[in-house]
């Protein structure tokens, strides 16, 4: 069965190339006829691995192609996910399965509400890829992808496709816990790295601020029924700060390159969840306000 992949960006291209190389039929879904023509003119996607670039002439179509979709990898940013799925909804088969690659939380619920008939499988990935040109993606960091479905614990039959494609993965029985934990790590590190304009390691100069945020994030996770994701959060944050000391966080990279961030699905989501539970988390709220102010001053949206 074919995989349709919406978003020939960093992660979408990485999945598409590896699935196609394993003999799995893949169709890229591009925004419109203009993007499709540009892709065809380029002759395909180029993936750079271990410094070697190779062109893959994968099949592509635009969003309004009539072909029905049974298996879809949604590989756009969190802020594009709901509109993207709304555009594809008429093409989804009755038994369609979606894999949602978006970082953070909030976009997955918005997608599921648009297509209640489809099975939505959530993913959390530590793989790293970036675009260094049109239709050209660099595979920067090998990692792991966890997949899971909070509503249906049995794994889908097609995990074998990922195995054959060499996409390192595990089926998780607690994917929401994983997404919450990743969101909490992100909230403790990424906004401060933007505000202090530093690499992750630079946060070791602000231990009290990091510790206070971790305390509030722990409280939030526990209140939201995510006690497992809350345990040892502060220790884990300190470990990540050390292990990634030389790196700029993804949010820092977005801001530095003038790209819209996924803040509404990370710190924004955390603050909304706290308010929903009438939980007062003053430091998290103040961090959010400072970050939004900083983004506005750099001409970037807060949503």
Choice among 18, 182, 252, 288 that is catalytic: 182
Binding residue (CB under 6 A) for ligand NAP from 42, 48, 63, 300: 63
- Among 82-90, 146-154, 165-173, 188-196, which window interacts with ligand NAP (CB under 6 A)? 82-90
Site map 258..287 versus ligand NAP, x via CB under 6 A = ----x-------------------------
- Among 28-36, 49-57, 214-222, 293-301, which window interacts with ligand NAP (CB under 6 A)? 28-36
- Among 128-136, 165-173, 210-218, 235-243, which window interacts with ligand NAP (CB under 6 A)? 128-136
Using CB under 6 A as the binding rule, the residues of this chain from 83 to 112 that contact ligand NAP are 83-84, 87, 101-103
CA distance 158 to 180: 25
80 binds ligand NAP (CB under 6 A): yes
Binding residue (CB under 6 A) for ligand NAP from 3, 5, 10, 180: 10
Residue 164 structure tokens: 């054959």
Report, in Å, the least distance between residue 264 CB and ligand NAP. 12
**Strand 128-133 relative to strand 136-141, pairing:** antiparallel
| 76 phi, psi to nearest 5 deg | -100, 180
48 binds ligand NAP (CB under 6 A): no
By beta-carbon proximity to ligand NAP, the closer residue of 84 and 184 is 84
- Among 69-77, 171-179, 215-223, 266-274, which window interacts with ligand NAP (CB under 6 A)? 69-77
70 binds ligand NAP (CB under 6 A): no
Question: Which residues are the active-site residues?
Answer: 182
Binding site for ligand NAP (CB under 6 A): 6-12, 29-31, 35, 63, 75-78, 80, 83-84, 87, 101-103, 125, 127-129, 131, 262
């Amino acid at each position: 069965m074919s995989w349709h992949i919406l978003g020939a960006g960093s992660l979408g291209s990485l999945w598409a190339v590896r699935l196609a190389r394993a003999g799995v039929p893949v169709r890229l879904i591009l925004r419109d006829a203009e993007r499709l023509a540009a892709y065809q003119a380029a002759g395909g996607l180029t993936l750079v691995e271990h410094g070697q670039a190779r062109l893959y002439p994968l099949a592509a179509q635009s969003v309004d192609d009539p072909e029905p979709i049974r298996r879809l990898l949604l590989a756009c940013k969190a802020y594009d996910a709901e509109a993207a799925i709304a555009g594809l909804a008429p093409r989804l088969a009755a038994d369609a399965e979606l894999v949602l690659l978006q970082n953070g939380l909030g976009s997955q619920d918005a997608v599921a509400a648009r297509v209640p008939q489809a099975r939505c499988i959530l993913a959390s990935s530590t793989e790293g890829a970036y675009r260094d040109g049109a239709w050209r993606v660099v595979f920067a960091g090998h990692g792991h992808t966890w997949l899971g479905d909070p509503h249906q614990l049995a794994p889908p039959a097609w995990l074998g496709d990922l195995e054959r494609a060499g996409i390192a993965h595990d089926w998780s029985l607690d994917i929401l816990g994983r997404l919450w934990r990743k969101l909490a790590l992100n909230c403790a590190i990424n906004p401060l790295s933007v505000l202090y304009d530093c690499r992750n390691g630079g946060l070791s100069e602000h231990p009290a601020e990091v510790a206070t945020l971790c305390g509030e994030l722990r409280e939030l996770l526990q209140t939201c029924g995510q006690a497992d994701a809350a345990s040892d959060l502060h220790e884990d944050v300190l470990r990540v700060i050390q292990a990634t000391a030389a790196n700029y966080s993804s949010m820092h990279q977005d801001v530095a390159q003038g790209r819209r961030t996924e803040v509404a699905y990370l710190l924004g989501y955390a603050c909304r969840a706290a308010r929903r539970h009438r939980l007062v988390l003053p430091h998290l709220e103040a961090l959010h306000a400072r970050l939004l102010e900083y983004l506005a001053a750099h001409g970037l949206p807060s949503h």
